[in-house]
Structure 1
Amino acid sequence: MRMQTMLAHFGEETVHGAVVPPLYLNSLFTANSFDEMKSEAPYRYSRMGNPTTDMLEKKLAALDNGEAAKVFASGMAAVSTALLHFLKQGDHVICSYPIYGGTYAMLSGWMARYGVTCDFVDFRDLDNIRGVLKPNTRMLYTEGYSTMFMDVFDLRGAIAIAREHGLVSVIDNTCATPATLKPLDWGFDVVVHSLSKYLSGHSDLTGGVVVSSQDTIRKLTAIEIGVIGGALPPFDAWLATRGLRTFGLRMKQHGESALRVAALLDGHPQVERVNYPLLPGHPQHELAVSQMSGPTGLLSFELRGGEPAVRKFVDSLHWFKIGVSWGGFESLVYATAIGWQRDEVAGTEYESRVDKLVRLSIGLEDAEDLLEDVEQALAQL
């Protein structure tokens, strides 16, 4: 099956001819006898497994070309569980920057309380990775398409380093999505996503997923899900499955509209830089198109005039609502000057770019309306 056909049908058992599978809201599953309860039955308690969440997990594993998947109550629950599963006291992590804020907070501060250290380096130069390798380095963690500045890096080169040194490789693929990038095919061990964004696409649930080998997901479920929790509720899983049915179609629209918005911004006198490597002419365009099969709907740009110009632009938009998330049907705008982990990029080239950066999440509105909105907001500067 191709992607959209798989999303429409794979993993769904027909019950009474229902086109939409039932929702199993129950918290537990009973048995008919002592021996049946003692057996290795698939369902006992919904924290550990539920037919509705299982259906979603089958689709997500297939979407990423993975063996298995486990869904969580949030993207950060997925990230945290993956970190806690592989890392122990005394381990060292090499993480790319800029990285998602929650991940940065987890690796820069919280994990340090338990003896796990992390170096944040620019993966655009692979020598930066080699330069911080230590005898206790256990994990390489990154994003395939960075959250705010939309950088890409050489996936093959990074994985080669990880394999050479026996590192577990984990990638957050929320921004690029499996519609444009499948990291497991490139050799990554683990992929994490926020379900709250493109995968569900309707801004009505919070969730996350870890996709990996059957063995990793089995152990992660038995240990971390068992003792830490963080499982996705069945209703949210049902909503996510509904959203997945249109994932491929939505991503085409997001990407096509984003390319048009990026082209409008590119070369505009008020715009200093467009951060969208899928745009021809971008310094990373050749690398981006060699790794990503199509455009995504997330881009950023930097305005001349710094924070005052950013404030004026953001407040002049009509269809783009100000919000911290992205990937839904609605167009959103956010500026790092509003709030962002500045300490992550202190002393780097990114530091001077924070106050002038605007991120756009291109929704499913008519592209012409979005273009007119961006154009009129730029005209206010």
Structure 2
Amino acid sequence: MQNNLTIKEIAKLANTSVSTVSRVINNSKNVSENTRKRIQTIIDQNNFQPSMIARSMVSKKTNTIALIVSDVNNPYFISLVSQIEEICIKQNYSILLLNTMTAEETITNLKAEIKTFNIVKEKHVDGVIILGGEVDKIDINPKYATELNDLSKNIPTVVVSQTDSSINSVFIERHQKLSGTMITQHLLANGYKKIGFIGGRPDVKITKERFNGFKETLSMYSTFQEKYVILNDYYVQDGYNAIEKLISTDSLPQALVTINDAVAIGAIRALKDHNLEVPKDVALASCDLFPNSEFTIPRLTTIDHNNNQLGLAALQQLLNLIEHETLPHLPIPYPKLIIRESCGTKFKQN
């Protein structure tokens, strides 16, 4: 038989109405089992694939979720995007991935994010998940807040970030401060007293919370020293630069907490270039697990934030918003300390 049937032709072959065929295609209720089977048999025999445009006009849904990411090269976001995409496929949703980090000198990341909100509205997606960007700032730009609130009013929107009172979206939070507390406690338990902190932009909530966890814990059991702190950014180069600065000012501590694994990797390379070994000369531990950190030399001691559960919680919340339901804030599992080689635990034992 032909395989380019229209819905109208399927209805004629099944001796039923076009609206009944449409309900079967969209898995709607109110269709008898016999009629559903008869229509489905014709669909299967003809390899019928409904037009997404036509389907969305009937159901008012596109089965598409916009995923707005501030930097697709960031290992944290790569991991989270993969988790969300995997779950979306199982739920028969496709993803529209939008990266707001721009290399153009004529446009700022803030402008790029606001522009992306307009693109999302034009695409008629069913929902939006936002990962990082301006929403992570301690002081969110008022224009950004206005535009995001307008987006959230028209399209179900979930933000993976720390809650901000100026934003009306649903938030999925991580235990940021706790990660800084846990990793510092571990270094203190290993006998280190002079501990520094490197990485992370000072205007971002993630940095503020992890650093506060570090500072409060260190101050409780030892002495916090500002000279051991360098807040710059979240990438490998920033770890390298931080070590260079600490060494140039003769301010290298016994141990370092890094904002994430990427910064830790850069720090290890810089120390190696100065003939310093981790953990023999300087111990090191990270606040945020990135993929493949178990293969570095030495293997990184780090904090696992359970990103698989984070992605699941964000998507579950969004799908319920799409269906006009609001779940209570889903609990995110507490982070886990992963003890490997860089912190010096095994080195001290040996």
TM class by shorter chain equals 0.3 to 0.5
Structure number with larger C-alpha Rg: 2
TM-score normalised over the length of structure 1: 0.32
Flag the structure with higher helix content.
2
Higher relative contact order (CA 8 A, sep 6+): 1
TM-score normalised by length of structure 2: 0.34
